[in-house]
């Protein structure tokens, strides 16, 4: 079909005020969003909308704003045009394309990883052990981050970086008891070979959670809002803060940390760690040695003197039996609070995940199995127990 295409440059104020954008060239362009259209209609999928939004020819000619009836706030939001994943007999195939410089993106991931390894000797030691046993071939299943869901410092503040480079937002997960929600993000296709190791291998999934601050006590809310207000525009530089290992707000007092820890250990962790990488996850089924079985890997880790998170059992298994996960107990580090007190606080940990082949592909020869033939996504029950890797109970067990 021959395409009659247009180009618009549209800012968020125009969308809010229903102003008509200027016709300029041959493509539709929204912030972080590009797409072609045919003569009658087009559709986009934005990072802030769960479903694609369709435009008719009248929208093109008159640019009637289809976003105005959306309940999603337009402030502090960005758009990301991503090709939709299409289920194929139960398997999800990521078909979005990488946007921007891949070498730059991988360098940022590398900086995040370096800060994480410098602060977490357990993770560094385990990665070195697994590399030595597996011919230096490690692939990451996912990276995880924690955020405060208030004053624009929640999931969107960190996800924007990944969406800009072609990641696609996927399912939401809810953890009512912990007052958390999360989204995971699938990686885009890359043009270069992804047979490297670590951040130079296949791009990891991204898992970002946020604390539902408005569900906490007024005292806890006051502390969190105090520091996110100090951060102010720091939320725009979440990825930068993670890559440099610094807080976007000032150091809190020890009494504030203690108050949060009594109500939400997640809140206390985020107050002193900020946007730091919470954990990386080794994709066990991509290992070459017998460690590709997560059971063998768990045994290997324990034999080398490391403690696994025991919450819900050392091995966390999804209801369908296809997603197997485990994690270490977090390291601790000394943190100097603003009132001059220095105390140990929890840092990060390392996780392991084995994704089994989906039933419809069970007869494929092993050498033919690719990542999209395996169980994708995350599981609330598993993740809920993995969160406990930074809990006081697990750290106390480790110290015993």
What's the confidence (pLDDT) of residue 44? 41
Sorted by sequence, the CB contacts under 8 Å of residue 341 that are 6+ apart come out as: 253, 254
**CATH assignment at residue 190:** 3.10.180.50
CA angle 111, 136, 207 (to 5 degrees): 45
Q: Which two tokens stand for residue 49?
A: 């909308």
DSSP H or E run through 142: strand 140-148
Residue 317 counted as domain residue? yes
What's the confidence (pLDDT) of residue 163? 97
Residue 223 counted as domain residue? yes
Q: What SS3 state is found at 150?
A: coil
Residue 209 counted as domain residue? yes
Q: What SS3 state is found at 303?
A: helix
Q: Which two tokens stand for residue 350?
A: 């390392």
Residue 39 counted as domain residue? no
Sheet holding 7-9, edge to edge: 23-25, 7-9, 28-30, 33-35
Sorted by sequence, the CB contacts under 8 Å of residue 196 that are 6+ apart come out as: none
Per-residue pLDDT in tens (0 to 9) along the chain, 400 residues:
333 333 333 343 333 344 444 333 333 333 333 333 333 333 444 333 333 333 333 333 333 333 333 333 433 333 333 333 334 334 444 457 888 899 999 999 999 999 999 999 999 999 999 999 887 789 999 999 999 999 999 999 999 999 999 999 999 999 999 999 999 999 998 865 557 889 999 999 999 999 999 999 999 999 999 999 999 999 999 999 999 999 999 999 999 999 999 999 999 999 999 999 999 999 999 998 999 999 999 999 999 999 999 999 999 999 999 999 999 999 999 999 999 999 999 999 999 999 999 999 999 999 999 999 999 999 999 999 999 999 999 998 777 6
Closest CA to 387 of 238, 181, 228: 181
Domain assignment of residue 167, given as a range: 97-396
* CA torsion angle 313 382 146 121 (round to 10): 40
Sorted by sequence, the CB contacts under 8 Å of residue 226 that are 6+ apart come out as: none
DSSP H or E run through 170: strand 168-175
φ, ψ dihedrals at 322, nearest 5°: -105, -10
> What 8-state DSSP symbol labels residue 275?
T
Residue 294 counted as domain residue? yes
> What 8-state DSSP symbol labels residue 258?
H
Give the ranges where the chain is alpha helix by DSSP (H): 12-17, 57-62, 102-119, 121-133, 155-164, 218-231, 238-244, 254-263, 265-273, 294-303, 380-386, 392-399
Tally of domains within the chain: 1
Residue 155 counted as domain residue? yes
DSSP 93-141: E--PBP-S-HHHHHHHHHHHHHHHHHH-HHHHHHHHHHHHHTTT---EE
Instruction: Give how far the C-alpha of residue 215 lies from the chain's centroid of Cα atoms, to the nearest Å.
Output: 22
Residue 10 counted as domain residue? no
Residue 331 counted as domain residue? yes
């Amino acid at each position: 079909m021959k395409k009659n295409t247009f180009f618009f440059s549209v800012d968020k104020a125009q969308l809010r005020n229903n102003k008509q954008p200027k016709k300029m060239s041959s493509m539709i362009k929204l912030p972080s969003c590009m797409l072609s259209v045919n003569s009658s209609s087009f559709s986009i999928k934005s990072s802030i909308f769960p479903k694609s939004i369709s435009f008719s020819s009248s929208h093109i000619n008159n640019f009637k704003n289809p976003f105005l009836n959306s309940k999603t706030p337009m402030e502090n939001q960005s758009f990301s045009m991503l090709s939709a994943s299409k289920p194929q007999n139960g398997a999800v195939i990521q078909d979005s394309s990488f946007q921007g410089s891949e070498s730059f993106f991988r360098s940022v991931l590398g900086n995040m990883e370096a800060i994480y390894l410098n602060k977490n000797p357990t993770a560094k030691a385990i990665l070195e052990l697994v590399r030595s046993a597996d011919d230096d071939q490690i692939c990451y299943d996912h990276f995880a981050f924690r955020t405060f869901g208030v004053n624009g410092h929640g999931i969107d503040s960190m996800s924007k970086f990944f969406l800009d480079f072609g990641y696609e937002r996927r399912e939401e997960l809810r953890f009512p008891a912990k007052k958390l929600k999360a989204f995971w993000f699938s990686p885009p296709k890359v043009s270069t070979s992804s047979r490297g190791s670590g951040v130079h291998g296949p791009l990891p999934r991204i898992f970002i959670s946020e604390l539902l601050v408005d569900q906490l006590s007024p005292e806890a809310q006051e502390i969190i809002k105090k520091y996110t207000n100090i951060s102010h525009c720091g939320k725009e530089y979440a990825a930068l803060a993670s890559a440099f290992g610094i807080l976007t707000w000032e150091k809190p007092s020890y009494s504030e940390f203690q108050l949060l820890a009594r109500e939400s250990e997640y809140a206390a962790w985020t107050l002193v760690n900020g946007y730091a990488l919470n954990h990386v996850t080794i994709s066990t089924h991509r290992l070459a040695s017998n460690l590709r079985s997560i059971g063998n890997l768990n045994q290997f880790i324990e034999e080398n003197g490391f403690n696994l998170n025991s919450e819900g059992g050392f091995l966390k298994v999804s209801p369908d039996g296809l997603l197997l996960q485990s994690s270490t107990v977090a390291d601790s580090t000394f943190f100097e609070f603003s009132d001059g007190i220095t105390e140990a606080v929890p840092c990060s940990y390392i996780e392991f995940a084995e994704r089994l082949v989906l039933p419809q592909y069970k007869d494929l020869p092993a050498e033919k199995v690719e990542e999209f033939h395996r169980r994708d996504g995350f599981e609330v029950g598993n993740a809920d127990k993995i969160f406990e890797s930074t809990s006081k109970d697990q750290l106390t067990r480790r110290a015993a």
